[in-house]
Amino acid sequence: MQIAVLAGGVGGSRFVQGVRRAYPDATVTVIVNTADDITLHGLHISPDLDTMMYSLGGGIDPERGWGRAEETWRVGGELAAYGVEPSWFGLGDLDLATHLVRTQMLDAGYPLSTVTQALCTRWLRDADQRAQPVQLVPMTDDRVETHVVIDDPAAASGRRAVHFQEYWVKLHAEPEARQVLQVGIDKCRPAPGVLEAISTAELVLLAPSNPVVSIGPVLGVPGITAAIRAAKAPVVGFSGIIGGAPVLGMAHRLLPAIGVDVDAGSVGLHYGARPADGVLDAWIVDTADAGALPRLREHGLIAASTDLIMSEPAATADFIQHGVKLATE
């Protein structure tokens, strides 16, 4: 069985671990958001790709959910001692090696998808003793960056745009997000293998990742939404919003900026049903959001509620199988 998953970082990687558990023999391709990417200290950092790679490869710091386990911060300390900015983005010593390798390979002319494959050789080849390791593919090899427009009384326009990482990490998503822009999205192309993974899949899954800054950019890559609409496989999405709030993170600070209410039903309708120009066949919400089911069904979606907390891969596998069964029977 071939499965294509659209995903971001922390939520996406927990979900993919559930996919692995639910379909141990499947070929799984994860199309990962790269609009969180940022260049700092001359290094190309791909947070969602790295979170996915370290998580599936057993190298993630489980408490933070990003970066390496048993990390040390000596290089960052030295940069701070030189007064080098930005000091608000923590780059651990072990993690820095990944960014050094990635940047060197990019500078040598390799595309991000090839670099990702090379990095994953270390992390995923024997990760779970499967014949077929998970394949991580960036949504695009081209540069795309999420920027968030916030109020700034000092600016002539009264507003300014900051990189998503500045909004998320430095500003803790506290300023009102007036607009979320994916700079470069219009002109980017899907990375090699992305459209093929979708068109040949027997199952397409949308992880419960952030709808605005994780799934949003992936669907925004020209050609990806059309490929999902045309896919022969059932397309099943899972809500990361439970009881009117994200399970973790700050998606509630960004959804209003794209005009979507912070509730599971509204996110499902935002993705929409395939017959109504959307991308989903089925939308699975938590039991706390069962009240949204009639509205979702009215809009042509197969909809169901179940426990969507990804406490461990087995629990995630259970709700994935449940959702897929509904969409396919």
Output the smallest distance, CB 11 to ligand FO1, in A: 9
Residue 169 binds which of Ca ion, ligand FO1, ligand GDP, none (CB < 5-8 A, kind-dependent): ligand FO1
Instruction: Identify the DSSP state of 280.
Output: B
Element housing 296 (H / E): helix 293-298
| Count of all residues that appear for the chain in the document | 329
Selected from 4, 9, 96, 301, the binder of Ca ion by CB under 5 A is: 9
| Ramachandran region, residue 248 (left: φ > 0; alpha: ψ -120 to 50; beta: rest) | beta
Does 145 bind Ca ion (CB under 5 A)? Our answer is no
Task: Count the neighbouring beta carbons within 10 Å of the beta carbon of residue 3.
Answer: 24
Burial class (CB in 10 A: 0-12, 13-18, 19+), 154: exposed
Asked whether position 55 contacts ligand GDP by CB under 6 A, the answer is no
Please list, in sequence order, all residues whose beta carbon lies within 8 angstroms of the beta carbon of residue 43, skipping any fewer than 6 positions away. Answer: 91, 96, 99, 100, 102, 103
Does position 9 interact with ligand GDP (CB under 6 A)? The reply is yes
- The angle that helices 47-56 and 10-22 make with each other, rounded to 10 degrees, is 40
- Which residue of 10, 31, 279, 280 would you call a contact of ligand GDP, by CB under 6 A? 10
Scan for tokens 């069964």, then name that residue: 325
Residues 212, 215, 216, CA angle at the centre, nearest 5°? 50
Q: What are the residues facing 182 on neighbouring strands?
A: 146
- As measured in angstroms, the least distance from the Cβ of 162 to ligand GDP is 17
The answer to whether residue 48 forms part of the interface with Ca ion (CB under 5 A) is yes
* Interacting residue with ligand GDP among 8, 59, 76, 220 (CB under 6 A): 8
> Shortest approach of ligand FO1 to residue 1 CB, angstroms?
28
Cα distance between residue 275 and residue 282, in whole Å: 12
SS3 assignment, position 235: strand
User: How many Å apart are CA 151 and CA 186, to the nearest integer?
Assistant: 25
> Residue 8, interface with Ca ion (CB under 5 A)?
yes
Residues ≥6 apart with Cβ < 8 Å to 55: 10, 13, 14, 16, 17
Compute how many residues bind ligand GDP; rule: CB under 6 A: 26
Per-residue x/- marks for ligand GDP, 99-128, CB under 6 A?
------------------------------
CB of 131 to ligand GDP, least distance (A): 27
- Mark the segment that binds Ca ion (CB under 5 A) among 43-51, 56-64, 131-139, 255-263: 43-51
Q: Which is nearer to Ca ion, 59 or 217 (CB)?
A: 217
CB of 321 to Ca ion, least distance (A): 26
Site residues, ligand FO1 (CB under 6 A): 8-9, 36, 45, 47-48, 50-51, 66-67, 89-91, 95, 165, 168-169
State the nearest-atom distance from the C-beta of 274 to ligand GDP, in Å. Answer: 22
Residues that bind ligand GDP (CB under 6 A): 7-12, 14, 48, 51, 207-210, 214, 238-240, 242, 246-249, 251, 308-310
Interface residues with Ca ion (CB under 5 A) are 8-9, 36, 48, 214
